[in-house]
């Protein structure tokens, strides 16, 4: 894969930033794409732009504001409160079919810039009820993209079967745990790094980090650092 070019679907959050570092390790050339769809906080696009600039990676921002028109949700409409899905239902942040659109546009962009590989941080493990985060969907869309553009696209999902603590573990293996912890934005309330600590995204991120650090105590640490040091801000 080393000689080839990849596009990373990039939001400036923990998962996609981990994927970006994974791609930088695995591909000769990497570009990123962020979709601007009237996020609850424009800070998300700003955060992605800052990280891409800092890493010297080309960053495409595509305007998909029509998503907010089609499916107002907690991420796009400040009037709707962010909440977990009840009784296994979908969370209020759900924008139906969002990844179908995102990955289709990523495929078209990949075609334009001559990239064969598309990398996304979707995960079936923590998929929160989003059907278009599932492996079967990604594989099906991969086939569809190839049929649509006669392309040799390969969609990579390095986080598909990882839980949040394993995502932290991967970022540590890549030597980027602290970078990801301090520079990324996952919080629904638009606060970088450790976030507000209260919203579902912050709770999931924090729990994963604590579980990962807990697993390190008493075990061999890949980064060779004490657990307490990993938890330092
Ligand atoms: Zn939060």
Is 232 one of the annotated binding-site residues? Answer: no
How do the domains of the chain map onto residue ranges?
5-231
Query: Distance from the CA of 82 to the center of ligand 1, in angstroms?
Result: 10
CATH homologous superfamily for the domain 5-231: HUPs (3.40.50.620)
Is 165 one of the annotated binding-site residues? Answer: no
- Over the chain (233 residues), the average pLDDT of each successive run of 10 is 91 97 98 85 89 98 83 56 46 71 96 97 78 93 96 94 96 98 93 93 94 79 51 52
- Across the beta sheet with 29-36, the strand order is 58-63, 29-36, 5-9, 117-119, 154-156
Query: Distance from the CA of 183 to the center of ligand 1, in angstroms?
Result: 14
Contact predicate 121/166, CB 8 Å: no
Query: Distance from the CA of 191 to the center of ligand 1, in angstroms?
Result: 7
Helix ranges (H only) for 27-163 are: 43-55, 66-70, 98-113, 135-149
**What is the number of residues in the chain?**
233
How much of the chain, in percent, has pLDDT values that exceed 70? 79
Query: Distance from the CA of 67 to the center of ligand 1, in angstroms?
Result: 23
- Measured distance CA(34)–CA(59) in Å, rounded: 7
Query: Distance from the CA of 78 to the center of ligand 1, in angstroms?
Result: 15
| All residues at 6 or more sequence positions from 185 whose CB lies less than 8 Å from its CB, including other chains | 12, 13, 41, 43, 44, 47, 191, 192, 195
DSSP state of 1: -
| All residues at 6 or more sequence positions from 134 whose CB lies less than 8 Å from its CB, including other chains | 124, 127
Contact predicate 223/172, CB 8 Å: yes
Is 92 one of the annotated binding-site residues? Answer: no
Is 43 one of the annotated binding-site residues? Answer: no
- Measured distance CA(114)–CA(3) in Å, rounded: 13
Is 47 one of the annotated binding-site residues? Answer: no
Residue keyed to tokens 């990801």: 180
pLDDT tens digit sequence for 64-79: 888 777 765 555 555 5
Query: Distance from the CA of 184 to the center of ligand 1, in angstroms?
Result: 12
Phi, psi at 66, each rounded to 5°? -65, -20
Helices and strands per DSSP (H, E), number in the chain: 9, 5
From residue 89, alpha-carbon distances to 22, 38, 46 in Å are 32, 24, 31
| Whether pTM exceeds 0.95 | no
pLDDT tens digit sequence for 35-94: 998 766 688 899 999 999 999 999 999 998 887 777 655 555 555 555 544 444 444 555
| All residues at 6 or more sequence positions from 182 whose CB lies less than 8 Å from its CB, including other chains | 192, 193, 233
Distance of alpha carbon 186 from the chain centroid:
9
Is 194 one of the annotated binding-site residues? Answer: no
Distance of alpha carbon 104 from the chain centroid:
16
Is 133 one of the annotated binding-site residues? Answer: no
Closest to 119 measured CA to CA, from 37, 41, 203, 31: 31
Show the tokens assigned to 198.
Answer: 């209260």
Is 12 one of the annotated binding-site residues? Answer: yes
Is 187 one of the annotated binding-site residues? Answer: yes
């Amino acid at each position: 894969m080393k000689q080839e070019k990849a596009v990373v679907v990039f939001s400036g959050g923990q998962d996609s930033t981990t994927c970006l570092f994974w791609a930088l390790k695995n591909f000769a050339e990497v570009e990123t794409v962020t979709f601007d769809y009237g996020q609850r906080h424009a800070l998300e696009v700003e955060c992605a732009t800052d990280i891409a600039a800092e890493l010297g990676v080309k960053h495409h921002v595509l305007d998909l504001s029509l998503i907010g028109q089609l499916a107002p949700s907690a991420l796009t409409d400040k009037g709707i409160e962010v909440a977990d899905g009840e009784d296994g239902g979908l969370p209020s942040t759900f924008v139906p079919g969002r990844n179908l659109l995102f990955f289709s546009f990523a495929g078209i962009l990949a075609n334009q810039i001559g990239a064969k590989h598309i990398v996304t941080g979707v995960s079936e493990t923590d998929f929160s009820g989003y059907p278009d985060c599932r492996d079967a969907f990604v594989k099906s869309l991969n086939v569809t993209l190839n049929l649509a553009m006669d392309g040799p696209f390969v969609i990579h999902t390095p986080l598909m079967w990882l839980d949040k603590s394993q995502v932290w573990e991967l970022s540590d293996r890549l030597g980027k745990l602290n970078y990801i912890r301090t520079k990324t934005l996952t919080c629904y309330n638009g606060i970088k790094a450790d976030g507000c600590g209260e919203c579902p995204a912050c709770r999931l991120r924090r729990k994963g980090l604590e579980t990962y650090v807990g697993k390190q105590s008493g075990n061999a640490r890949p980064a060779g650092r004490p657990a307490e040091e990993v938890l330092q801000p």
